[in-house]
Structure 1
Amino acid sequence: MKAFRLYRLVVVTVALFLWFTTAAFSETVITGKVVGIADGDTITVLQDKTQYKIRLYGIDCPESHQNFGTRAKQFVSDLIFNKDVRVIVHDTDRYGRNVGQVFYNDLDVNQAMVQAGYAWVYPQYCKKSFCSAWNGFEQAAREKGIGLWSHPNPVPPWDFRRGVRGSSAEKNKDTSKNQEVTYHGNTSSMVFHQPACKHFNCKNCTAVFQDREEAIEAGYRPCGGCRPSGIHNASLKNAARGTY
């Protein structure tokens, strides 16, 4: 009788161990419709009347006020907004968001963002075995000069969030009339300026655009004083009444 009780205790103990082990190592899967796009790497998925905020695992897209932030958001929106997706949750971040891989049919959306040049592989957090392949996709996008890699020395978003706005080489680069015009956007007023405008170096003019269309696409409006038109005009150096 004692032997049977001991045997039953052992069986129950093993069963509980296996159950807890399986629960600990299994990954949550969320399936539902994408009902929100916050930015290139953050979406909202509706599953059974419950909304889940999803942070795309292992990648980091440009911030909304960075170059290509708007384009990254539009790219992921075109891929999956209002569509049914499957999310394999790998982690939960400090904001309580589910961090995972997003799949639309057989398309790995995280990977697609990297391949299209709209995201960096996030080295601090991309620790899965497939991250090495993603690094290869990022390098290929760099070499092709697509997406954000079409700009020289783009600032990684994790540096941008710490206040880094470009290398000293970029800050000191020649801005003579023989070069292509670069527009600077004020992240507070959402106004962009010509280089010759007196507000070109204002403390909030940290968004940089290579052409007028890109600035407008990012949600900025032209300065009322220097009136950036896409053509460099030396006379604009006297502009003194730009709105910012």
Structure 2
Amino acid sequence: MITPGSLYNCFSKFVFDGDTLTLDSQGAELRVRLRWIDTPEAQKSGQNSTDPKILKHWEWAQKAKVALMNLVAEKAIITVPIEKDQFDRWVCDCYLNKVSVATNIQILQCKAGMGVSFLPFNRFAYNTRELSLLRGIITETASANRKKLGLWSEPDLILPYEFKKLNLS
């Protein structure tokens, strides 16, 4: 049984995309969505396009997935589950080896330009760790954007939240 707010020692089992993965916690599978970030959307089965912007978005989705795979491969991950989302995934904060802003996976994805901040729109009583995490995500997203790192190097990239609004079939 998973308890929100508790720490779990895990290892990566499978990476779905740049912000979703399956972790192994002492033999139990935990499907995780990284909290407060969003990465480009992968091409879904049956989706096709000749639009260069859409093709570029899908290309960056693959790059974000590979970046996450490289980040978590064969490393101990500390996971803090927060809540379940509409897809029955645990929305989590994840860290490499220890709980620290410097080892937070969401921040590292944003710092590399592989993700964007996806800010909460609810009333939330942030603890000190969460405030540091949120500040780090925003800061590193802005820094990657200014430096034109990763997906920010694309002048006309469709951001993940914009891409989700498109009607692709």
TM-score normalized by the length of structure 2? 0.75
Structure 1 residue 48 corresponds to structure 2 residue 50: no
Q: d(CA) in 2 for partners of 1:142 and 1:158?
A: 16
Q: d(CA) in 2 for partners of 1:120 and 1:59?
A: 5
Q: By how many angstroms is 1:92 displaced?
A: 1.5
Q: 1:158 to 1:146 in 2, by over 3 A?
A: same
- SS of 1:154 mapped into structure 2: coil
- Of 123-132 and 85-94, deviating more is 123-132
Name the counterpart of 2:70. Answer: 78
| Cα deviation 1:168-222 (Å, max 9, x = unaligned) | xxxxxxxxxxxxxxxxxxxxxxxxxxxxxxxxxxx87xxxxxxxxxxxxxxxxxx
Q: d(CA) in 2 for partners of 1:82 and 1:36?
A: 11
1:132 corresponds to which of 132, 135, 139: 135
Q: By how many angstroms is 1:38 displaced?
A: 0.3
- SS of 1:153 mapped into structure 2: coil
Q: Which aligned pairs between 1:140-219 and structure 2 lie closer than 5 A?
A: 140-163=143-166
Higher RCO (C-alpha under 8 Å, 6+ residues apart): 2
Long gaps (5+) in structure 1: 1-23, 165-202, 205-244
Bigger Rg, which one? 1
Q: d(CA) in 2 for partners of 1:134 and 1:80?
A: 18
Name the counterpart of 2:111. Answer: 115
Q: By how many angstroms is 1:82 displaced?
A: 3.5
Query: Moved runs in structure 1, 4+ residues, more than 3 A?
Result: 124-128
> How many residues are matched?
142
Q: By how many angstroms is 1:29 displaced?
A: 2.2
Name the counterpart of 2:127. Answer: none
Q: By how many angstroms is 1:53 displaced?
A: 0.2
Q: By how many angstroms is 1:123 displaced?
A: 2.0
TM-score normalized by the length of structure 1? 0.53
Q: By how many angstroms is 1:125 displaced?
A: 5.6
Q: Alignment RMSD, CA only?
A: 2.2
Q: Percent identity?
A: 21
| Cα deviation 1:89-138 (Å, max 9, x = unaligned) | 12211111111111112411111001110001002469642323321211
Long gaps (5+) in structure 2: 44-56, 125-129
Q: d(CA) in 1 for partners of 2:104 and 2:26?
A: 23
Name the counterpart of 1:214. Answer: none
Q: d(CA) in 1 for partners of 2:73 and 2:84?
A: 22
- Conservation of the 8 A alpha-carbon contact between 1:40 and 1:61: yes
